[in-house]
Amino acid sequence: MADGRHTVTVTRSWISDTPDEVEHPPIPLGINEMAVPRATLMLSIGTALVLLLSGIWVGLAAWNFTTDLEASFGPPAEALEIDGRYAWEVDLLFDTCMAREGDWQWPENLSGQDDVFLYPGELRCDWEHQGDGDRATVVVHNRGNESVDLVLEIIGSGVIFSAEDDISDVISLEANESGFREIELTEDLTEGEFTVVASHLSVVNAEVYLDVAVFKGSEERELHINDNDQIEVHYVVWDADTGEQLDEGDLVVTAGDDPSYIDGFGWSAIGLDIDSDRGLLPGITTGTTHTTLLPPTIAYGNNDGHELEHSWLRFELTINRGPIA
């Protein structure tokens, strides 16, 4: 100050009551403005190494799991293809089918086809029904030399697989085997469409399609013949290629799987209809008629040396009476 006394310099904060060395302690050796960034950098590098090693460990574990899985169950399944097509075909047994997308024509001679497949491509078929509860037969043909497991699914409303009471079913076929499934109408449709999709059980997108246009017939019937019904039918059979009539008569048949006849004959009876009189009233005929087309695989194709071994057969069936109790 100007009065001659010594000026005292205050080095501590005037609002602090603690010694300056306590309020502002000396910085220890090594702790400076670069110390925190260095520590953060080292921590980041350590974390990255841990993540890298963890990723490598997970990858090795996944590879070992896949290797063990293939060793246990074999490599991923592949659907058998023949000439660019999956090895199975789907058909409606009625003689009402055509090219699904209009991309092929019926061969002039069915029995003379030089091809593994029965049909040149996928099918679209018509189904004239006679009321709610009517039935039809879907046929799946495995044309490959290996067995196949397929999931069948109906896309569309008003139709189910009868045996499962559901829109889906599973069918397993041996090499060159054909299998049958009964479908049932659950709605009295005036007209409609649905698709049956046959998909490989374990191969994604390995699918074959059957489109069906369904419409109501002119005369509805009360009783619809289904699997295991015993009925009497009048039949006429022709060679589908030549048009030659081969036989005609009356037979008692069990609709569906009837071991007394060729496979396709019993399944051809599915979907016939009759009124509640069951054909027992003399002089009155109320049964319906329909026509089915049988390829050799469900006709005489398994009868080596038979004169009709390679023939496609066209059957016209009329129900005379039944179901027979």
Kindly indicate the confidence band of residue 218, based on its pLDDT and cuts at 50, 70 and 90: confident
pLDDT above 70 for 154: yes
* Same structural domain, 36 and 16: yes
- Residue-level pLDDT at 8: 43
* Same structural domain, 203 and 114: yes
Average pLDDT over residues 62-78: 52
* Same structural domain, 311 and 191: no
- Residue-level pLDDT at 1: 44
Domain-ending residue, one of 180, 201, 220: 220
To the nearest whole number, what is the mean pLDDT of the chain? 85
- Residue-level pLDDT at 221: 94
Average pLDDT over residues 195-220: 95
* Same structural domain, 99 and 178: yes
Q: Is the peptide bond before 19 cis (omega within 30 degrees of 0)?
A: no
- Residue-level pLDDT at 61: 59
Range of the domain at 102: 81-220
- Residue-level pLDDT at 26: 52
Strands 273-274 and 135-142: unpaired
- Residue-level pLDDT at 58: 55
* Same structural domain, 233 and 148: no
- Residue-level pLDDT at 48: 61
- Residue-level pLDDT at 25: 52
| pLDDT one-digit tens code per residue, 231-250 | 999 999 999 999 999 999 99
* Same structural domain, 107 and 195: yes
- Taking CA 58 as the corner, what is the angle to CA 52 and CA 59, rounded to the nearest 5 degrees? 90
For 150-167, b/e burial (b = at least 16 CB within 10 A) is bebbbeeebbbbbeeeeb
Q: Specify the 3-state DSSP secondary structure of 251.
A: strand
- 305 near 284, Cβ under 8 Å? no
Question: Model-level pTM?
Answer: 0.76
Cα–Cα distance for residue pair 107/121, rounded to 1 Å: 11
The encoded tokens of residue 217 equal 């017939």
- Residue-level pLDDT at 4: 47
pLDDT above 90 for 23: no
How far does the chain reach from its first CA to its final CA, in angstroms? 134
* Same structural domain, 46 and 139: no
* Same structural domain, 215 and 98: yes
- Residue-level pLDDT at 37: 54
Q: For residue 296, what are the contacts with CB-CB under 8 A and spacing of at least 6?
A: 111, 309, 310, 311, 312
Domain-ending residue, one of 204, 220, 236: 220
The CATH number assigned to the domain holding 244 equals 3.10.50.40
**Number of independent structural domains in the chain:** 3
- Residue-level pLDDT at 51: 65
- 148 near 87, Cβ under 8 Å? yes
Kindly indicate the confidence band of residue 43, based on its pLDDT and cuts at 50, 70 and 90: low
* Same structural domain, 114 and 245: no
Strands 168-173 and 148-155: antiparallel
| pLDDT one-digit tens code per residue, 245-300 | 999 999 999 999 999 999 999 999 999 999 999 999 988 889 999 999 999 999 99
Cα–Cα distance for residue pair 192/8, rounded to 1 Å: 108
* Same structural domain, 8 and 109: no
The encoded tokens of residue 65 equal 């799991």
* Same structural domain, 121 and 170: yes
* Same structural domain, 85 and 181: yes
63-69-72-77 Cα dihedral, nearest 10 degrees: -120
Alpha helices in 263-307 (DSSP H): 263-268
Domain-ending residue, one of 44, 75, 106: 75
Of the candidates 219, 223, 196, the residue with the CA atom closest to the CA atom of residue 209: 196
- Residue-level pLDDT at 59: 60
The CATH number assigned to the domain holding 135 equals 2.60.40.10
